Amino acid sequence: MAKVHPNLAVPSLPAATAMSVITAGDCSAKEKGAAEAAGDEEPVVLTVWRKSLLFNCRGFTVFDASGNLVYRVDSYAADSRAEVVLMDATGRPVLTVRRKKLISLRGDQWLVYPGEETRLPPLYAVKRTPQYIRGGGGKSTAHVAACGVPGAGGYEVEGSYLRRRCAVFDEQRRAVAEVQPKEAVGTDVFRLVVRPGMEVSAAMAVVLALDEMFGKPSLLRTWSS
C-alpha cells in the first residue's frame, strides 16, 4: 500500500496555532487576507485516511500536503453515541456531527455543532437527498443548510461519495470542496480539496456526514435519536 502518513508525530502546538494550521495552511492571517483580496487564495489539499491510528478504534486520520496530522476521528467499536467528533492534531474537539432521526418521510439529518457543544444551536444541517429525486435524474445527493445565520447560503453535494468522486457547490454553483480518489490506494484513502468559500473544518464535517449516509460500513454501529 502507498505511504499514507509520512509524518506521524503529532505536533505539540497550542490550540490557536493548531487551528491556524488547519484553516490556513502555512499562511499567516495577514497573508491569507491579502490572498483573498487578490482572489488567488490557494486551495487546501488534505489526504483523508478512513482509519484511526488508535487500537480498537474506527475513524479518520487526515494529513495536510506536507504529511502533518491535522484532523482525527476516533470512534470505539463499543461506543453507541449518535455522534462523531472531529478533533484537531492535539485532540481538541473542533466539530461534532450528530444524527437526528426525523419522524417523517423527509429522512434523517446530520447536525454539525461547534466543538462538543451539542446543547447549542447547530452550525449546519446535512440532509440526504430523497431517493425519488436522485432516481429521477437529479444530481444532488445531499443538501447542507446553514443554521441560525440570517442570509447564510447553503451547499449542494453532487456526485458519488462511495466512488470518492463528489463535489460541494455553493449557491453561485462554485465548487468549494471536492472529494477525489487518490491514485492506486483504494477508496479508504482519498483527497479532499477545499477552495475559498468553505471552511476546511466544515468540509470535513460534510465528509463525515456523507460517510454516515453512504459509507460501507458506517463508523458507528448504532444511532440514537
pLDDT for the residue 145: 93
pLDDT for the residue 71: 98
Q: Which amino acid would we find at residue 198?
A: M
Judged by DSSP in three states, 74 sits in: strand
186-221 as b/e: b if 16+ CB within 10 A: eeebbbbbbbebbbbbbbbbbbbbbbbbbeeebbbe
> 156 Cβ partners below 8 Å, 6+ apart?
140, 142, 143, 144, 168, 169
Q: What is the pLDDT along the chain (225 residues), one digit of tens a residue?
A: 445 555 555 433 333 333 333 333 333 343 344 334 434 689 999 999 999 888 778 899 999 999 999 999 998 655 555 789 999 999 999 999 999 877 665 667 899 999 998 889 999 999 998 765 555 456 889 999 999 766 667 999 999 999 999 999 999 999 999 999 998 778 899 999 999 999 999 999 999 999 998 887 655 443 332
Q: Position of cell 491569507?
A: 32
> Considering the entire predicted model, what is its pTM?
0.77
pLDDT for the residue 159: 94
Please tell me the distance from the alpha carbon of residue 185 to that of residue 206, in angstroms, as a whole number.
22
pLDDT for the residue 4: 58
Helical packing angle, 15-24 and 200-214, nearest 10°: 80
**How many other CB atoms are there within 10 angstroms of residue 136's CB atom?**
8
pLDDT for the residue 57: 80
Please tell me the distance from the alpha carbon of residue 221 to that of residue 211, in angstroms, as a whole number.
13
**Domains of the chain from N-terminus onward:** 82-214 (2.40.160.200)
Q: What are phi and psi of 219, to 5 degrees?
A: -60, -45
Judged by DSSP in three states, 16 sits in: helix
pLDDT for the residue 107: 67
Cα torsion angle, 137, 212, 166, 148, sign = positive
pLDDT for the residue 152: 67
pLDDT for the residue 25: 36
Q: Could you tell me the three cell numbers for 221? A: 454501529
